[in-house]
Structure 1
């Protein structure tokens, strides 16, 4: 099957726990815990197309108390992107919105493979570097979309670079003292 790949150029955003802001390109958190589109062990970088969406995504566990976060912007020029918010692209990937919206955390806790993991695994194997999907965070609306990277680097064709012209991000973990 030939997937309907596209190219994305623009800016995406991610809200980081301040302690982990020294490594905004790692994907290690998703690799450690898993996410909607990756099983544990697979580095994946979850970003949003709007800063408001990044904030909403980062605050999901704290509906009534906003917690501190470091908001980063990224410059993107990436090919091999699938926009799964487009119904035609989603159908061309032989999937549907129910797969994207599955209760992945509950399924993973039950030791069952979530359909969204199976879809992402198949798309990665067929060359997808990134996917664009709706946000499923509480309070998200139709404007809220995420871009999830499976394959990224500081060079084309999957370029993703954090914007930090003034070198404000910490350089290592020693910037923080744990209490």
Structure 2
């Protein structure tokens, strides 16, 4: 069953992408746990601290640009719904599998990336999932978006009232 996410979201961006906080370009170029290379995705968190953990999972804290969005996203798959997750052939252990990068090397696509492709094909705009970053707890949550912008069903607006990042670029 799909849910609608309404609230703020946070991202801790590599400064290389700071001027394009709506692009999802890094995830598209390199792939992620829930998107294969070539599929744009925007990984956001429901709290600032979770966003910082997600962006700095390896080694020391690196330079980071923190941004905030207002979101109203329909058709979100909620992985916290264990029955819906099981119906998709998953459980939390499979979502958290740390070998997802190795799977992309051996099979071309991680199992979690296949789940994302399936959900995208079913019309989902995103996936609500627990953070698996070091130090994250059960309440640390991410929203991975595959569709976002100004549309009514996947509205995402960057909060930059003082135009600190310069003119907004369309998504």
Q: TM-score scaled to structure 2, two decimals?
A: 0.91
- Correspondence 1:120 to 2:108: no
Cα distance, 1:28 vs structure 2: 0.7
Question: Which residue in 2 is equivalent to 1:177?
Answer: none
Question: Which residue in 2 is equivalent to 1:50?
Answer: 47
Cα distance, 1:96 vs structure 2: 1.5
Number of equivalent positions: 167
Cα distance, 1:112 vs structure 2: 4.0
* 1:1-179 correspondence runs (5 A): 4-62=1-59, 65-102=60-97, 103-171=99-167
Cα distance in 2, alignment partners of residues 151 and 54 from structure 1: 19
Cα distance in 1, alignment partners of residues 16 and 40 from structure 2: 19
Cα distance in 2, alignment partners of residues 144 and 104 from structure 1: 20
Q: TM-score scaled to structure 1, two decimals?
A: 0.87
More divergent stretch after superposition (89-98 vs 41-50): 89-98
**Gap regions ≥5 residues in structure 1:** 173-179
Structure of greater Rg: 1
Residue 148 of structure 2: SS of its match in structure 1? Answer: coil
**Gap regions ≥5 residues in structure 2:** none
Conserved in 2, the CA contact under 8 Å of 1:21 and 1:170? no
Cα RMSD (Å):
1.5
